[in-house]
Amino acid sequence: MLKLKLLSTLIGCSIAASSFAMTPQPDPLNPTGYVISAAEVKAAEEAKTADPMYKVWAKALATRPNSIVEAIEPGLASNPDNVKRVERVFSQSDWDFLTHMAAPEYTYTRFLRAIGKFPAFCGEYTDGRNSDAICKKSIITAFAHFAQETGGHISKDNYWDNPLGLEEWQQALVHVREMGWSEGQPGYTTGCGQNDWQNKRWPCSPGQGYFGRGAKQLSYHFNYGPFSEVMYDGDATVLLNNPALVADTWLNLASAIWFFLTPQAPKPAMLHVIDRTWTPSQREIDAGIGYGFGTTINIINGGIECGEQNRYKGQPVNRIRYWEGLSAHYNIPIEADETNTCWQQTPYGGLNLNGATDVLYTNWEANWKYYPERPEGVSFECELVGYQTAYSALVPGDYKKCVTNFYESHANWPQVRVVGIMPPTDPGTNPGTDPIGNNWDSNAVYNTGDRVVVNGVTYEAKWWTQGDNPETSGTSGPWKKS
């Protein structure tokens, strides 16, 4: 019943992830374009995502159909297994205990549905890890952040505003919309309407505002769009056209669970910090980043809340207080190698992980390296980078879109078509395929290994070339005597 959106992976592939053997050919339908084999594109993607962690990420972001999710109710025998686990370790009474001040849009049923959408949250571990303990710790971690992001922040001794004397960590989910904003206000539209890849992929809807909504206060069209794609079978427009759904339906909690499960490489997914699927790289360790609640702060808002300069800042101090209060109340053990704080950590935004061989990335960008043997020196490949782009390694089909520059994000990238069967090579276009050589033609395209004859001398192409006279190209040119 699961709709698994899994990446294609090739575990143990020996091909280097930095480049792959690509053999683009001129496009017979486009005089300035090229075609490339779908098999080569697929093999290149698999080689670049061969690390088993890509499969783990994809599994974590697998989703159930909304028709199943919206049938979830507390106590039903038909509830998915991960939902039943939540009901066992965090009951309706636990929910009520932490949500006395919550907005009415947040309910336990919607909480269960949000979790039911993502089977990996509170899912089953079959390798000896304690599934119930990880589930409970995940929920309590989420609530510590809810208490900061959308909490009441009312002192326990403020009787007039807090007559029940609630701890601040019991005051989560008070706000469903960002304070000061309401539906009908077209706020947070920075960048909307521009002729760029973000608007081509996630176009803003006229009159809509993308201010903070839900438990995670989802903001901006470049976050509403990706979340909509996950929730609605790849359709970004559902929430871009109707962002109020993130406030008024179970999506108000699902947006937070989605964020909890999504790596923002090089930052890991929060779940994988908690369940220790993630292993910090040496550079992260050197920057003070390891296991514990502090790293989840760094993932959420490290640039503002982590580092020595933010040690006594209100937001991280609050989060840590809430986590410590919640973990003590729910008997969540803190392991010896876990740190609740992040003042001793370098914020991820200030940590240069480029080139680190033990760090994985999740977004595709054009590979701009020069390849002399390929047409125009273009790679015709994409590579993984540590910032948001139009194409995600966690979205099936995005690598092909990157290669073909689907959202026009690569300036001056040649037009590329991916085809199932490559067109036959035109002997007139590649005369060098004749083993005895043909006379050189200044208008012809020659690929690596093609041979031509000029004034009785045979030359072999060292890489793709057009218009370079073999007699005058010199030793550094594209031809060598054969």
Q: What angle do CA 52, 403, 363 make, to 5 degrees?
A: 45
| CA-wise closest residue to 250 among 220, 214, 224 | 214
**Within 13 Å, how many C-alpha atoms sit on residue 388's CB side?**
12
Q: Report yes or no on 113 lying in a domain.
A: yes
End-to-end CA distance of the chain: 61
Ramachandran class of 455: left when φ > 0, alpha when ψ lies in -120 to 50, beta otherwise = left
Residues 255 and 246: beta-carbon distance below 8 Å: yes
Is residue 433 pLDDT above 70, yes or no?
no
In one letter, which amino acid is 104? P
pLDDT tens readout for residues 83-101: 999 999 999 999 999 999 9
Give, as one character, the DSSP assignment of residue 454: E
Residues 77 and 39 in one domain: no
pLDDT tens readout for residues 346-390: 999 888 776 677 888 999 999 999 988 899 899 999 999 888 899
Burial of 141 (0-12, 13-18, 19+ CB in 10 A): buried
For the annotated catalytic residues, the residue numbers are: 149
Domains of the chain: total? 3
Q: Report yes or no on 312 lying in a domain.
A: no
pLDDT of residue 467: 83
Average pLDDT of the chain is 89
Residues 168 and 152: beta-carbon distance below 8 Å: yes
Q: Report yes or no on 408 lying in a domain.
A: yes
Residues 435 and 420 in one domain: no
Residues 379 and 473 in one domain: no
Q: Report yes or no on 322 lying in a domain.
A: no
pLDDT of residue 96: 97
pLDDT tens readout for residues 295-320: 999 999 999 999 999 999 999 999 99
Please report, to the nearest 10 degrees, the dihedral formed by the alpha carbons of residues 60, 317, 106, 63 taken in order.
-10
Tokens of 5: 């959106």
Q: Report yes or no on 31 lying in a domain.
A: yes
pLDDT tens readout for residues 246-298: 999 999 999 999 999 999 888 999 999 999 999 999 999 999 999 999 999 99
CA distance 323 to 140: 8
Sort strands 451-454 and 438-439 into parallel, antiparallel or unpaired: parallel
**What are the backbone angles phi and psi of residue 200, rounded to the nearest 5°?**
-70, -35
Residues 157 and 107 in one domain: yes
Residues 403 and 418: beta-carbon distance below 8 Å: yes
Single out the residue in 424, 444, 464 at which a domain terminates. 424
Residues 96 and 235 in one domain: yes
Residue 40, domain extent = 1-51+360-424
Is residue 43 pLDDT above 50, yes or no?
yes
